[in-house]
């Protein structure tokens, strides 16, 4: 392509000379032709540069990232309705009479009094105690094995004497009133029941 353009330009330059033919070219004409040829060759070179130049496309702008949509607000929970007040059912209870429990100091004094009776018995009574602090009207009395050497009437007298002392001590400390009697159980040293108090007074001899 380059050679065709140069050749064309040379012929055009040569033909443009006035009165110039192919057989009447002088050296001056030749030099002028070459000068024009060189000039035309520079134009061709510029033309080639322009034809071969490919402009670098300008970089396209990167689109800005779109904003992340703001999440919609979560709807607020509605308040749970307050339950209506359930009407209170009132019941009238029949009061049950309760025997007041003696104070601790009174119980201690009662036990001390029982210990004094045992100590003053000369070994015939080993212990007197209430098995439950909440029910001091039940009294256990432990006596020695001398019981087995007594006659039946002597056993009865001994039980009545023990019963009288226990009941009077309970009355002194307001455990029972004057018309009441305690439930008294008499045992030997091996926990065998020897006698029990009767509901209407006296004792039932068991052994």
Domain ranges of the chain: 2-51, 104-205
- Tell me, what's the pLDDT at 37? 60
CATH architecture of 104-205: 2-Layer Sandwich (3.30)
How much is the pTM?
0.50
Distance CA 42, CA 59 (A): 33
- Tell me, what's the pLDDT at 41? 60
Burial (0-12, 13-18, 19+ Cβ within 10 Å), 17: middle
pLDDT tens track for 84-129: 666 666 656 666 555 555 566 888 899 999 999 999 999 999 999 9
pLDDT grade for 28, boundaries at 50, 70 and 90:
confident
pLDDT, mean of residues 192-197: 97
- Tell me, what's the pLDDT at 207? 77
pLDDT tens track for 120-179: 999 999 999 986 777 888 999 999 999 999 999 999 999 999 999 999 999 999 889 999
Distance CA 141, CA 100 (A): 24
Distance CA 52, CA 141 (A): 136
- Tell me, what's the pLDDT at 65? 59
pLDDT tens track for 41-70: 655 455 454 545 455 566 666 666 566 656
- Tell me, what's the pLDDT at 112? 93
- Tell me, what's the pLDDT at 71? 58
């Amino acid at each position: 392509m380059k050679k065709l353009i140069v050749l064309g330009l040379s012929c055009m330059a040569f033909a443009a000379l006035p009165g110039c033919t192919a057989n009447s070219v002088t050296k001056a004409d030749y030099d002028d032709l070459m000068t024009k040829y060189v000039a035309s060759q520079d134009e061709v070179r510029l033309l080639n540069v322009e034809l071969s130049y490919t402009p670098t496309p300008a970089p396209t702008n990167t689109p800005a990232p779109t904003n992340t949509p703001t999440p919609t607000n979560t709807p607020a929970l509605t308040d749970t309705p307050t339950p209506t007040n359930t009407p209170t059912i009132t019941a009238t209870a029949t009061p049950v009479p309760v025997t007041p429990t003696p104070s601790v100091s009174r119980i201690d004094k009662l036990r001390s009094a029982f210990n004094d009776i045992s100590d003053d018995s000369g070994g015939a009574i080993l212990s007197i105690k209430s098995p439950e602090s909440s029910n001091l009207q039940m009294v256990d009395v432990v006596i020695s094995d001398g019981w087995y050497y007594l006659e039946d009437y002597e056993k009865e007298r001994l039980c009545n004497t023990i019963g009288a002392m226990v009941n009077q001590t309970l009355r002194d400390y307001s455990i029972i009133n004057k018309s009441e009697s305690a439930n008294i159980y008499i045992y030997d040293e091996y926990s065998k029941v020897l006698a029990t108090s009767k509901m209407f007074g006296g004792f039932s001899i068991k052994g």
